[in-house]
């Protein structure tokens, strides 16, 4: 896992700055994440973590530069970044409640492929075959992301909370992110679900995905990340491997000390 640190960054942000009127929510924030690496972003409430995600994915007006897989995407609009491999799962679970788990996943894959009306009208058999293929791909994508087959035909609201979290991550990942940004994936999870989340993150890393994780759950962050960026009042006060960050006096004072 340490060997990937010299790899070219999958995602790099440089000098990000976001202001909401007089409030500077993010100031001169720079970090990068490589394929096969998990970067954690931590900091107290209001430190600027979500704003940092919004700035990286162009959901907010900002200064700075963003490079995705070697290409400058600073001016690329948010909705185009997903197609380039940068995907993001939000804090709240997001799915269609009136579609089954499998149908939710299939809808995302279908959307990615761009369902063609012309194909549906003129080649109905091909369209039916496509639909069957999409369902098979959806089942595979769900299993890969830790949503077992026994839940595929249930409605999301009927499944345990841990399954709903995994489903949200699976839907964000779609057919496969190169960089996946997760916002508090462990929120509300108990012990067994937490262990499954750790296993999932580790297996995605092993497959070469770059992951960025905002998380308040310190045990998870310290055990699963390769490097951590610490924000406080919009500024980066530390960055480095978990064992270094854990001992950093500025971090202890600004964050860990306060929460201990």
Ligand X SMILES: Nc1ncnc2c1ncn2[C@@H]1O[C@H](COP(=O)(O)OP(=O)(O)OP(=O)(O)O)[C@@H](O)[C@H]1O
With binding defined as CB under 6 A, does residue 43 bind ligand X?
yes
Q: CB-wise, 49 or 217, nearer to ligand X?
A: 49
Q: Which residues contact 12 (CB under 8 A, 6 or more apart)?
A: 30, 31, 32, 33, 66, 67
Q: CB-wise, 43 or 185, nearer to ligand X?
A: 43
Q: Which stretch binds ligand X (CB under 6 A): 30-38, 44-52, 78-86, 202-210?
A: 44-52
Closest distance of CB 56 from ligand X, Å: 12
With binding defined as CB under 6 A, does residue 258 bind ligand X?
no
With binding defined as CB under 6 A, does residue 85 bind ligand X?
no
Closest distance of CB 52 from ligand X, Å: 7
Closest distance of CB 216 from ligand X, Å: 7
Q: CB-wise, 2 or 22, nearer to ligand X?
A: 22
Q: Which stretch binds ligand X (CB under 6 A): 47-55, 111-119, 205-213, 243-251?
A: 47-55
With binding defined as CB under 6 A, does residue 41 bind ligand X?
no
Reference 111, options 142, 140, 79; nearest CA is 79
Reference 203, options 38, 83, 11, 33; nearest CA is 38
With binding defined as CB under 6 A, does residue 48 bind ligand X?
yes
With binding defined as CB under 6 A, does residue 228 bind ligand X?
no
With binding defined as CB under 6 A, does residue 20 bind ligand X?
yes
Q: CB-wise, 6 or 259, nearer to ligand X?
A: 259
Burial (0-12, 13-18, 19+ Cβ within 10 Å), 168: buried
With binding defined as CB under 6 A, does residue 168 bind ligand X?
no
Closest distance of CB 43 from ligand X, Å: 5
**Which one of residues 12, 51, 159, 164 is an interface residue with ligand X (CB under 6 A)?**
51
**Which one of residues 2, 22, 23, 260 is an interface residue with ligand X (CB under 6 A)?**
23
Q: CB-wise, 25 or 177, nearer to ligand X?
A: 25
Closest distance of CB 48 from ligand X, Å: 4
Integer Cα distance of 179 and 209 in angstroms: 6
With binding defined as CB under 6 A, does residue 47 bind ligand X?
yes
Binding residues for ligand X, rule: CB under 6 A, are: 20, 23, 25, 43, 45-51
């Amino acid at each position: 896992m340490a060997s990937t640190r010299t790899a070219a960054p999958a995602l790099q942000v440089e000098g990000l700055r976001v202001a909401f009127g007089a409030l500077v929510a993010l100031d001169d924030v720079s970090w990068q994440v490589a394929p096969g690496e998990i970067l954690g972003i931590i900091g107290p409430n209001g430190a600027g973590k979500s704003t940092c995600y919004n700035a990286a994915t162009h959901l907010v007006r900002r200064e700075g530069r963003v490079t995705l897989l070697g290409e400058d995407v600073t001016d690329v609009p948010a909705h185009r970044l997903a197609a380039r491999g940068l995907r993001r799962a939000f804090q709240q679970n997001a799915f269609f409640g009136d579609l089954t788990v499998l149908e939710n996943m299939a809808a995302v894959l279908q959307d990615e492929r761009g369902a063609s009306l012309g194909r549906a009208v003129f080649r109905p058999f091909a369209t039916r075959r496509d639909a069957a293929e999409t369902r098979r791909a959806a089942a595979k994508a769900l299993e890969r992301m830790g949503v077992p087959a026994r839940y595929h035909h249930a409605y999301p609201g009927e499944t345990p909370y841990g399954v709903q979290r995994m489903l949200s991550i699976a839907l964000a990942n779609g057919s496969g992110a190169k960089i996946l940004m997760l916002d508090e994936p462990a929120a509300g999870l108990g012990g067994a679900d937490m262990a499954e989340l750790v296993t999932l993150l580790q297996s995605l890393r092993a497959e070469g995905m770059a992951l960025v994780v905002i998380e308040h759950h310190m045990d998870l962050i310290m055990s699963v990340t390769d490097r951590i960026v610490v924000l406080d009042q919009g500024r980066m006060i530390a960055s480095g491997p978990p064992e270094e960050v854990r001992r950093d006096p500025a971090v202890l004072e600004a964050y860990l000390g306060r929460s201990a």
